[in-house]
Amino acid sequence: MRGTEGLDLSFEKLMVFGGVENMNRSNSGDGDCGFWGLLHGWRDAISWGHTHLSLSWCKKNMNNLVLSLIPKFTKLQVLILRQDTPQLQDDAVEKIADYCHDLQELDLSKSFRLTDRSLYALARGCPDLVKLNISGCSAFSDNALGYLTGFCRKLKILNLCGCVRAATDRALKAIGYNCNKLQSLNLGWCDRVGDEGVKSLAYGCPDLRALDLCGCVLITGGAMAVNLTLMLASAYFRHGFVYEVYPSYHESVVALANNCLHLRSLGLYYCQNITDRAMYSLAQSRVKNKPEVWASVKTRCEEEGLTNLNISQCTALTPPAVQAVCDSFPALHTCPGRHSLIISGCLNLTSVHCACSIHRASTAMPRLAH
Ligand SMILES: [Zn+2]
């Protein structure tokens, strides 16, 4: 615990160095960075002992507040700048990169106004970032994101939801190459992400535990008919028919299942091109990987494998394929209160049930007879 001396000193710094003065020029409405707002934020900042700061309460003038405060918070490890309406501009992020070299967690979500300048600055100034949220920052390019990953190689949790320009297969290759410690990646609504990019992740990030690909409509998860046919034809002319070489071609979901043995959560919501083949591959990977799991961590066997799978709106999937996945991963449930296999919106999948639902249905019958 820091004493009141630390609190007073910090408050004095805020007063002296202009944060309050600047902010008082604007209206002190609800959520504005006026005096009361600053007091509230100051209290939060101090209670976190200078290493944690959240300015998300600030609804106006966050940019000015960051510019005036950040030079006094050089020990920051966690900085939360989530916004409802975009306020931050590149100069604020450059200031953060100039002063906060120990930063491990940064939330810049919904900063629509930021450009690549911000990512280039963070790459140079904050190499220790472990957790970065730039969801909704739609102006970032894949070049800048790739550059950042070359410097911030400790990243474990990365939220790129809605970064439509940044999250391309090219950027995912850079992530797979540079960020081998990655555990959680959100690629929601990044509709340029394809199977190639997901495969790069699968091979480069073996510790991946959660991957959200919702709305990534290019993902098929399985072999793509057109390319496969071309490959087979060329192989036939060159070497004769060697079918067994090709089933793994472009199978991004297979690569994930085979290489990311810690994968627990997979979001495929609205991936409308996901095929049955991807589901069967997932189910098979579980069977294939089981002996290794048994050998290494016997007691944790039940904890291995998917515990959350969202395939809502994946309208191309059929019940037998999804049932195969459900049967292979005992932690996936469709029963009430435990919907860890989420199939809402797939009217043709209503016949898919986890083992406990089936068990419940069969034990309910004799009771009805009494
Ligand atoms: Zn169940």
Across the chain, which distance is largest between two alpha carbons, in Å?
Answer: 80
Ligand 1 center to 231 CA (angstroms) = 42
Ligand 1 center to 21 CA (angstroms) = 58
Q: Is residue 28 part of a domain?
A: no
Run of H or E including 311: none
Ligand 1 center to 354 CA (angstroms) = 5
Q: Is residue 4 part of a domain?
A: no
The CATH number linked to 229 is 3.80.10.10
Ligand 1 center to 269 CA (angstroms) = 20
CA angle, 139 as apex, 31 and 101 as ends, to 5°? 70
Q: Which tokens is 152 given?
A: 């911030």
Asked whether 196 and 176 are in contact (CB, 8 A), the reply is: no
Q: Is residue 20 part of a domain?
A: no
Domain extent at residue 109: 52-365
Asked whether 108 and 158 are in contact (CB, 8 A), the reply is: no
Q: Is residue 11 part of a domain?
A: no
Q: Is residue 9 part of a domain?
A: no
Ligand 1 center to 255 CA (angstroms) = 27
Q: What is the pLDDT along the chain (370 residues), one digit of tens a residue?
A: 344 444 444 444 453 333 333 333 333 444 555 555 566 656 555 545 589 999 999 988 999 999 999 998 999 999 999 998 999 999 999 999 999 999 999 999 999 999 999 999 999 999 999 999 999 999 999 999 999 999 999 999 999 999 999 999 999 999 999 999 999 999 999 999 999 999 999 999 999 999 999 999 999 876 443 344 444 444 444 444 433 333 444 478 888 988 998 999 999 999 988 989 889 888 887 766 655 544 444 444 445 789 999 999 999 999 999 999 999 999 999 998 888 999 988 888 999 999 887 777 776 655 444 4
Could you tell me the CA-to-CA distances from 211 to 151, 201, 257 in Å, in that order?
22, 10, 12
Q: Is residue 306 part of a domain?
A: yes
Number of domains in the chain: 1
Q: Is residue 45 part of a domain?
A: no
Q: Is residue 346 part of a domain?
A: yes
Ligand 1 center to 314 CA (angstroms) = 21
Asked whether 310 and 257 are in contact (CB, 8 A), the reply is: no
Side chain identity at residue 248, one-letter code:
S
Check residue 305 and report its DSSP letter: S
